[in-house]
């Protein structure tokens, strides 16, 4: 079920290395959280209670707990981030995984989504017990720095209650399910793509939910889940909303925390349904773009005016 149309970039972890010959060299760790827009919800609030790190081998996990903090993910967009941990002393070395500890108990007001003015419980399977475990290893260096970005894809992570379409009315008695699909990138090897979207008709078309889709490599933009041998499924790496000030004919967007490499970018009005999407992309074949470390690459789009109907 495709309940939300967004890509959610989530955690930024940065470690500044120490030095020396000690067997227990410490580094400073910083963890932040960020997001991108989603049309089917007005708020997505996740209550975070701590972050756990598992050293490689038989060593027990290291838990960094703090006073529960409710983060409205939709307040942190276009590269903005909320800091969860900052300058926490950490032992240098190899780590197996990260675990984000979430308060998401049933019938308790902790994590929730606000949909059509209704507060809907946000259910994270095993969230209260084991949290959101990210099974990608990383190394905190003895000297230098480390930065990781954990990219949540809400389009695949946020699910409406059974029998209820995303964004529709209802009592929300069953709650929304959060099964995170998370991408981990090294912040030392990321850049950004940003630019403008010009609407030649003077405004975005009616019912348009303007977005920029970014795909890895040279591909033809597609957002259908239908997969065949001749037409394999092509999933975007990230999807970002276009911000259009009131009365403006030009919108802006920014896709942050993008790993360095080659991509295909395209604009589409998108939609917000649970079914496979058949979208019209501009340009149809997409725009090739190369992302470089610590560089913001500019890609602009022009949306032609619709022909008048008779």
Evaluated on CA atoms 183, 196, 189, 214, the torsion sign reads positive
How far apart are the C-alpha atoms of 227 and 216, rounded to whole Å? 17
185 inside domain:
no
225 and 292 together in one domain? yes
In a domain, 249, yes or no: yes
Predicted TM-score of the model (pTM)? 0.75
Q: What is the CATH number of the domain that holds 269?
A: 2.60.40
Q: How confident is the model at residue 227 (pLDDT cuts 50, 70, 90)?
A: very low
Are residues 65 and 90 located together in one domain of the fold? yes
Does the pLDDT value for residue 33 go beyond 80?
Answer: no
Question: Would you say residue 227 lies in a domain?
Answer: yes
CA distance 284 to 266: 8
Q: Does residue 244 belong to any structural domain of this protein?
A: yes
The whole-number pLDDT of residue 298 equals 97
Domains identified in the chain, total number: 2
- At 267-293, the pLDDT tens digits run 998 654 444 456 789 998 999 999 999
Same domain, 149 and 251: no
Tell whether 88 and 152 lie within a shared domain. yes
- pLDDT for 217 equals 94
Across 253-260, average pLDDT: 90
Q: In Å, how far from its chain's centre is CA 300?
A: 22
Q: Mind listing the pLDDT tens digit for each residue in 163-174?
A: 555 445 555 767
In terms of domains, do 73 and 114 share one?
yes
Q: Which two structure tokens, joined as six digits, stand for 56?
A: 């490689």
Residues 162 and 237 occupy one common structural domain: no
Find the helix or strand (DSSP H, E) in which 155 lies.
Answer: helix 154-157
Contact 183, 170 (CB under 8 A): no
Q: Residue 59: pLDDT above 50?
A: yes
Angle at 273 between CA 270 and CA 278, to 5 degrees: 50
- Choosing from 136, 153, 180, the residue where a domain stops is 180
Both 121 and 99 in a single domain?
A: yes
pLDDT of residue 233: 65
Query: Which of 122, 148, 180 is the endpoint of a domain?
Result: 180
Mean pLDDT highest for which of 62-66, 161-165, 227-231?
62-66
Average pLDDT, the chain: 75
Give the per-residue pLDDT at 215: 93
Residue 56, in any domain of the structure: yes
DSSP single-letter state for residue 275: S
Residues 168 and 298 in one domain: no
Are 160 and 102 found together in one domain? yes
Residues 278 and 252 in one domain: yes
Q: Write b or e for each residue in 210-221: b if 16 or more Cβ atoms lie within 10 A of its Cβ, otherwise e.
A: bbbbbbbeebeb
- pLDDT, position 195: 96
Boundary (domain end) residue, out of 146, 180, 214: 180
Of the segments 48-62, 118-132, 181-195, which one has the largest average pLDDT value?
48-62
pLDDT at 4: 34
Coil, strand or helix: which one is 73? helix
- Same domain for 227 and 82, yes or no, is no
Residue 3 covered by a domain: no
Look up the domain containing 71 and give its range: 8-17+25-180
Lowest-pLDDT range, 97-101, 133-137, 256-260, 289-293? 133-137
Residues 78 and 113 in one domain: yes
| pLDDT for the residue numbered 309 | 40
Is the predicted pLDDT of residue 102 greater than 60, yes or no?
yes
Decide if 309 is inside a domain: no
Mean pLDDT score, 180-207? 83
In a domain, 299, yes or no: yes
């Amino acid at each position: 079920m495709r309940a939300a149309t967004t890509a959610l970039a989530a955690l930024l972890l940065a470690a500044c290395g120490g030095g020396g010959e000690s067997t227990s060299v410490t580094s400073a760790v910083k963890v932040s959280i960020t997001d991108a827009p989603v049309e089917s919800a007005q708020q997505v609030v996740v209550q975070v209670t701590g972050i756990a790190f598992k050293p490689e081998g038989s060593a027990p996990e290291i838990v960094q707990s703090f006073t529960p903090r409710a983060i409205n993910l939709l307040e942190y967009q276009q590269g903005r981030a909320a800091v969860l941990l900052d300058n926490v002393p950490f032992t240098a070395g190899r780590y197996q995984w990260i675990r984000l500890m979430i308060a998401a108990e049933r019938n308790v007001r902790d994590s929730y989504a606000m949909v059509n003015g209704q507060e809907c419980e946000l259910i994270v399977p095993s969230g209260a017990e084991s949290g959101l475990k990210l099974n990608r290893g990383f190394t905190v260096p003895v000297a230098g720095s480390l930065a990781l970005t954990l990219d949540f894809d809400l389009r695949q992570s946020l699910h409406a209650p059974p029998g209820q379409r995303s964004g529709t009315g209802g009592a929300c008695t069953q709650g929304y399910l959060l099964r995170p699909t998370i991408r981990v990138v090294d912040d030392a090897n990321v850049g950004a793509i940003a630019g403008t979207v010009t609407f030649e008709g003077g405004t975005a078309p009616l019912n348009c939910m303007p977005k920029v889709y970014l795909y890895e490599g040279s591909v033809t933009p597609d957002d259908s889940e239908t997969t065949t041998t001749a037409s394999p499924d092509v999933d975007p790496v990230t999807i970002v909303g276009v911000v259009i000030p009131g009365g403006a004919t030009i919108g802006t967007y920014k896709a942050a925390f993008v790993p360095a490499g080659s991509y295909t970018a395209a604009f589409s009005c998108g939609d917000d349904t649970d079914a496979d999407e058949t979208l019209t992309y501009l340009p149809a074949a997409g725009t090739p773009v190369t992302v470089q470390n610590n560089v913001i690459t500019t890609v602009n789009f022009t949306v032609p005016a619709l022909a008048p109907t008779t």
